Structure 1
């Protein structure tokens, strides 16, 4: 199984939103960056995902979710009333993908970006590299284990 990190603004979707709906698959949709979309296409059922809170007072990894449905066409791209509507996307040729994810656990304490930046072994993690603003990114098995050890 692959490992991932997704960034979200807690006001849009937080680890607490997943925690309030245990056992419920929540769509991860609205991604409108081609590289992030390509990573979504690689996600498969069972993959583990760090939820990273961004654009808020306390940024960092807040919890873990699991992919419960592999990539499928994001329905919001076809909804003219959605802010994620894409008039150039068609059901026969969809541009954007979504995945469904389910709550695994909330971390007892947020792992801050500063802490991640100072952890030996995470130098190649896109999150800590200068200029990387992707909302979806892969995490290697070694990186995943280093991060999980911070809370276990």
Structure 2
């Protein structure tokens, strides 16, 4: 799951303990978000920043529910077509699990053969929520334990 660190970083989540993950405005990413179950772990990816990469791990604390930011006119994520009765967007609650000693950079991730098929690393992939296979999960955990 991707977030811009100036909006919500792994360290913000660590300080808060839990937060709402909202603002997903792509149907495919929304569907991935909706499929996540309470207790499921995810990699927290910092995007649109000087050093994009995987910064830590979070956990789904509450399953998908209608994203309230879609109904807030002052929100960057406001959707004029959404209503309380018909809100196509979803949010989940997440909680902090771990921050990596350093961000696993996009360059490092791309250098790993075990991650070559990872959705995040494909050209044109801009989804904010995407699946990670069990093998990819283990490869990334191995990188994080090496202190990279």
| Fold conserved between structures, TM > 0.5 | yes
Give the distance between the partners of 1:70 and 1:145, measured in 2 at CA.
Answer: 24
Are positions 1:48 and 2:41 aligned together? yes
Which residue in the other structure is 2:28 paired with?
A: 35
Are positions 1:87 and 2:73 aligned together? no
Give the distance between the partners of 1:84 and 1:57, measured in 2 at CA.
Answer: 23
Give the distance between the partners of 1:18 and 1:10, measured in 2 at CA.
Answer: 10
- Superposition pairs of residues 57-96 of structure 1, within 5 angstroms: 57-96=50-89
Structure 1 unaligned spans of 5+: 1-5
Give the distance between the partners of 2:107 and 2:73, measured in 1 at CA.
Answer: 40
Structure 2 unaligned spans of 5+: none
1:93 CA displacement: 2.0
Counterpart selection for 2:142 from 134, 144, 149: 149
Which residue in the other structure is 2:2 paired with?
A: 7
Which residue in the other structure is 2:104 paired with?
A: 111
Residues paired across the two proteins, number: 145
Across the aligned residues of Structure 1 and Structure 2, the Cα RMSD in angstroms comes to 1.0
Once the two structures are superposed, residues 20-75 of structure 1 have per-residue CA deviations (whole angstroms, 9 ceiling, x without a partner) of 123xx300001111111111111110111111111111111001110000110001
The structure with more helix, counted as a fraction of residues: 2
1:139 CA displacement: 0.4
Give the distance between the partners of 1:71 and 1:50, measured in 2 at CA.
Answer: 18
State the secondary structure of the residue aligned to 1:151: helix
State the secondary structure of the residue aligned to 1:137: coil
State the secondary structure of the residue aligned to 1:139: coil
Give the distance between the partners of 1:130 and 1:75, measured in 2 at CA.
Answer: 32
1:92 CA displacement: 2.2
